[in-house]
Amino acid sequence: MKSIFAGLDLVSDEFAETVRSSLQKVEDLLLGELSSGDEVMTEAATHLAKAGGKRFRPMFAILASQFGPRPDSEDVITSATVVEMIHLATLYHDDVMDEASMRRGAPSANARWTNSIAILSGDFLFARASRLVSTLGPEAVRIIAETFAELVTGQMRETVGVKPGADPIDHYLQVVWEKTGSLIAAAARFGAMASGATTDDIERLSKIGDIVGVAFQVSDDIIDISSVSVDSGKTPGTDLREGVHTLPVLYALTGDDATSARLRELLVGPDGGSRPLTDDAEVAEALRLLESSAGMAAARAKLQSFADEAHAMLAELPETPAHKALSSLVDYTIDRVG
């Protein structure tokens, strides 16, 4: 088995084992750091880590490290662990804000304990991540501080919503970059820095992280509309039922044809805000209209433009097994939407 993550081609069994071994070191350090506190804190803080997950961000850091002369540096493992800790911390806080009851197939921390415990667990992960990143030097501390700010700004921007007169599409893409792309970009930057990659390659890899993070969210937006539940494991229209206007919807609502007009009737409330769909027939109609809309075509074109931009960046990086792996990951963002 060469693949660790869907769509990722690790080229050879030898390279696949290198990535697997590094990810296991990340797992060991992650659980070790989170198990070093009080017994009550340990149980809550390791709850999500033990529930599993793709470990996508650590993997991205490890792949980025392959473009430097010291991919085996312990700083690579530390860097990869830091970004996963931050990601997990945001999940604790997100579940409280969303009043989520499940996460990764298990009860969320706020459901199992309380909102207060979940928030404090997230804070504990942020604290542990800060301690670890301090061992990487002042530049790493600065980068992670800026990433903290971007993550929080994205959440705040999403919570507040689009300002009057602002472009909702620009707003949406900015939120996606801040909430998702920024941390994957930081993972790439950290992995490349820790292995001694050149300044230019560090910037290229960080930009690829930006693009891949946003592209995966856009592909999720498309899948939520066009997927068949039995094939994708998702129930189509989840975002519509929650009143969330994702990229294909936002594009479609700007149209001046009959399809866009009907979608505005279905999805926009009398106050101009989003209208959650509770009627199954309305959900089905909205999905049918969106699937064939100019908005869906525009979202697919935007996704393709992200892939093209990422491949252009990759073309400037050295040819390594990690190069092929990242290229396959970019292609997967397109292929997964059909």
For the segment 202-256, what is each residue's pLDDT rounded down to a tens digit? 999 999 999 999 999 999 999 989 875 434 445 788 899 989 999 999 999 999 9
Q: What is the pLDDT of residue 180?
A: 94
Mean pLDDT across the chain: 90
Assign 287 a pLDDT band (cuts: 50, 70, 90). Answer: very high
What are the CB-based long-range contacts (under 8 Å, 24+) for 199-204? 200/316, 201/67, 201/68, 201/317, 201/318, 204/313, 204/314, 204/316, 204/317
What domains appear along the chain, each with residue ranges and CATH number?
A: 1-197 (1.10.600.10), 199-338 (1.10.600.10)
> Distance (Å, rounded) from C-alpha 244 to C-alpha 275?
9
**42-65, pLDDT tens digit by residue?**
888 888 888 878 899 999 999 999
Instruction: Report whether pLDDT(303) > 80.
Output: yes
> Distance (Å, rounded) from C-alpha 319 to C-alpha 333?
21
Angle at 94 between CA 88 and CA 100, to 5 degrees: 110
Instruction: Report whether pLDDT(163) > 80.
Output: yes
Least confident of 68-77, 191-200, 300-309, 329-338: 329-338
**134-152, pLDDT tens digit by residue?**
999 999 999 999 999 999 9
Q: What are 176's two structure tokens?
A: 């996606």
Instruction: Report whether pLDDT(12) > 70.
Output: yes
Please compute the mean of the pLDDT values over residues 288-314 and round it to a whole number.
Answer: 96
Q: How much is the pTM?
A: 0.92
SS3 103: strand
**82-138, pLDDT tens digit by residue?**
999 999 999 888 888 877 776 666 777 787 778 888 888 889 999 999 999 999 999
How many percent of the chain have pLDDT more than 90?
A: 71
Task: Tell which wins on pLDDT, 255 or 41.
Answer: 255
